[in-house]
Structure 1
């Protein structure tokens, strides 16, 4: 399963899953379906209004419609944080390979090369399909040149399966009531770091996350537990305390 490292605001590197060919195709189909429906409505309105509309006015309206179609992806991705309507529905987004939000020039470059990726003379999407299927980060040509790719925006593990995916003894007593200063995203991030450690054994993730967490909730790691045990206890305490609050 291909992934890309993204540095969070807490300076923790988390692996996000790169969107596959099927999801990108489905998102593209949704976007095209929107324009098909819009085109049908447009043609009906043009037909109805043709009797009371000059030829010049009709041409202007047609130009506006096709301009919207041409610039749709560029404008949407810039205004919707790397997403079109189709991408938002499929919960995927465009992102730079270094994990940051793409710049205008990156959005522009990948948009310009849509002509080759999806242009009729180049097989009407064949170039993009082949590139996404065989490239390491599932990039079409425009992505390769702009140094972007498309990732899944949904966390691999939802919050309800993060803080509440394990059972606690009925007599469990939380050790750190300060965990209530954490929010849902903080807990997701701690869980992601733990999963990353379990899979890779990279202890640096644990040390960095522990330092950030202790500073955030203003506690020290007790002498009777190590950093890994501390983070695991934080998750347990969060579950215990938030369950009581609910």
Structure 2
């Protein structure tokens, strides 16, 4: 498997194992099984012919209901990745995850961009087919079939042949998909000793992920070793930006130490 080494703004090198094409395809397949299962159940429950009769042949109302039914499928990858911290259900089963190229959790705008550009990665043929039909070309049907095959493979080909296994949406959103094979070790690297009577200060630390805290801990350790106060300031600012925490401590060192302890308290003790 490919590996990706990320150098953070604080000059700390973090190595990740990239998710393979096979893992991403299996996750994609699992997600589609969930989508089709949802559609099957919904269309078994809703009798659209009966609905049309109920609304006296009002096709617009029936179509509106159909669109509403499709919303959970259309936005599936967007809301699951936001709610599950970079994972759809399929990604969770395959132990792969979306992160940004700096190693931190992507922003909501990153997830939106990544989702929106699926139209290029998997449905480019739709845009090209519309153009072909609008201008009129010989052998239109054959061309559209070929475009369908090509359009569905754009994302796959980009994942195969780009350095960071990125589809177009990943490139624009500055995201990568990693394999969490070291998930157990991951937790070990973020452990901090806590006193039995420890009382946390910042509940918002739960907005951080294990990956965020790993980077924070390694960066903080390096900054303390070399008395790099500028890096500690940057680190404190980044933590506050991601979590919305307002520091109650006079020094950055005390603040970051408390954040690490609080994260361990909420994730390990409770």
SS in 1 for 2:65: helix
Partner of 1:108: 112
1:15 counterpart = 2:15 = yes
Deviations 1:122-155 (A, max 9, x none): 5353000000001111000110111111011231
Partners of 1:86 and 1:31 in 2: CA distance: 5
Unaligned runs of 5+ in 2: 126-147, 196-209, 226-270
Q: CA deviation at 1:90?
A: 0.9
Contact 2:77 2:88 (C-alpha < 8 Å) held by counterparts: yes
Q: For the structure 1 residues 70 and 156, does the alpha-carbon distance in structure 2 shift closer, same or farther, using more than 3 Å as the test? A: closer
SS in 1 for 2:75: helix
Contact 2:5 2:13 (C-alpha < 8 Å) held by counterparts: no
Partner of 2:86: 82
Q: For the structure 1 residues 180 and 148, does the alpha-carbon distance in structure 2 shift closer, same or farther, using more than 3 Å as the test? A: closer
Partners of 2:168 and 2:48 in 1: CA distance: 42
**TM-score, normalization: structure 1?**
0.59
SS in 2 for 1:125: helix
Partners of 2:15 and 2:171 in 1: CA distance: 20
SS in 1 for 2:46: helix
| Aligned residue runs from structure 1 range 142-157, under 5 A | 142-155=169-182
Match of 1:141 among 162, 168, 179: 168
Q: CA deviation at 1:100?
A: 1.2
Q: CA deviation at 1:19?
A: 0.6
Match of 1:118 among 118, 122, 126: 122
Q: For the structure 1 residues 120 and 40, does the alpha-carbon distance in structure 2 shift closer, same or farther, using more than 3 Å as the test? A: farther
Q: CA deviation at 1:82?
A: 0.9
SS in 2 for 1:93: strand
Unaligned runs of 5+ in 1: 163-178, 194-204, 212-246
Partner of 2:156: 129
Match of 1:66 among 70, 85, 92: 70
Contact 1:137 1:149 (C-alpha < 8 Å) held by counterparts: yes
Which portions of structure 1, spanning 4 or more consecutive aligned residues, are displaced by more than 6 angstroms?
none
Partners of 1:71 and 1:2 in 2: CA distance: 30
| Aligned residue runs from structure 1 range 192-211, under 5 A | 208=222
Partners of 1:180 and 1:34 in 2: CA distance: 41
Deviations 1:155-192 (A, max 9, x none): 17758xx9xxxxxxxxxxxxxxxx9769xx9xxx7xxx
RMSD: 3.8
Deviates more, 1:80-89 or 1:119-128: 119-128
